[in-house]
Amino acid sequence: GTGGGIRIADGYKIDKTLLNGKEMQAILAGLKSLDSVSGTKEYQQLMDKIVPKDIGEEQNIYDASGNIVIDLASHYKGSLSEKIALFKEAMEKNRLVEFEYYAISGESHRTVEPYLLIFQWKGWYLYGFCLQRQDYRLFKLNRLVNPKLKEENYSKRNYPMPNLNVDEMYHDNINLKVLFAKNCKWQLIDEYGIESFQETEEGLLFEGHFANKDSMMSWLFSFGNQVTILEPAQIKEEYLVIIDAIKEKYRET
């Protein structure tokens, strides 16, 4: 009748027979990864509801660690968890957020309608509609400071899913050919795989495509004098200009 209905009883646990061991471990691994950046115990509490208290000999099946461990935190775990919690609250309540943002183009104050939290490219990002730019933007959480929840609410838009394809986000389109010292092998394998280079008498011949010149140049400089740019000639010239500027700076000091 009026006001009637059904509800799940307090303390109810899902019937463990609905899930096999592999399915349960997959769920627990995902929940534990979220707990690594949540800053709260909400996902641990959810795991406690799923896992039976008295599991006896089935401990290995329901072990929350299983054989996969995913840690989504960073060196900035404390501040990262606080930001994630704030943006989750903003999305749940449809509240605007504001913060200071630091990018290559400079510093800026942003007011944003938050829609998604994304883990991509080894980092966390906020995806939302920026009122200053009147467009959708990705903001890296580590470069976002002093976030605040504003009093104003926003009407949720039918937002497009972000395009996370690096080649489409950046358009420098550089085909790089370089020679690395042989002691760089482990790093090339770690970042691009063992098929990314050929071993020669002179060193490791690497050829790769880069969509963003700034990140590519930073990557090359991280190898110090263990890398020699072969092609394209323009990148070699720009690299030398930067080296000369560094040398001149240290001559002055």
Beta bridge partners of 130: 112, 135
Measuring CA to CA, which residue among 109, 171, 106, 161 is closest to residue 138? Answer: 161
Local confidence pLDDT in tens for the 253 residues of the chain: 677 888 888 877 766 556 666 777 677 777 776 666 665 666 666 666 666 555 554 444 445 456 666 676 655 555 788 898 899 999 999 999 999 999 878 899 999 999 999 888 778 899 999 999 999 999 999 899 999 999 999 999 999 988 877 655 666 689 999 999 999 999 999 888 999 999 999 999 999 989 888 889 999 999 999 999 999 999 999 999 999 999 999 987 7
CA-to-CA separations, 85 to 11, 39, 126, 213, 217, in angstroms, rounded: 26, 7, 12, 34, 35
What is the four-CA torsion angle of 240, 243, 244, 247, rounded to 10 degrees? -160
Question: Do residues 84 and 37 touch, judged by C-beta distance below 8 A?
Answer: yes
pTM of the model: 0.65
Predicted pLDDT of residue 57: 44
Residue by residue, DSSP assigns 94-143 as TEEEEEEEEETTEEEEEEEEEEEEEEETTEEEEEEEETTTTEEEEEEGGG
Question: Do residues 193 and 232 touch, judged by C-beta distance below 8 A?
Answer: no
Predicted pLDDT of residue 153: 96
Measuring CA to CA, which residue among 17, 21, 95 is closest to residue 58? Answer: 21
The residue count of the chain comes to: 253
Question: Do residues 43 and 2 touch, judged by C-beta distance below 8 A?
Answer: no
CA atoms within 13 A of residue 171's CA, in its CB half-sphere: 0
Given phi > 0 = left and psi -120 to 50 = alpha, else beta, which region is 79? Answer: alpha
Predicted pLDDT of residue 26: 72
Predicted pLDDT of residue 1: 65
Predicted pLDDT of residue 74: 57
Residues whose CB falls within 8 Å of the CB of residue 27, separated by 6 or more in sequence, listed in order: 19, 50
Residue with tokens 């009122």: 131
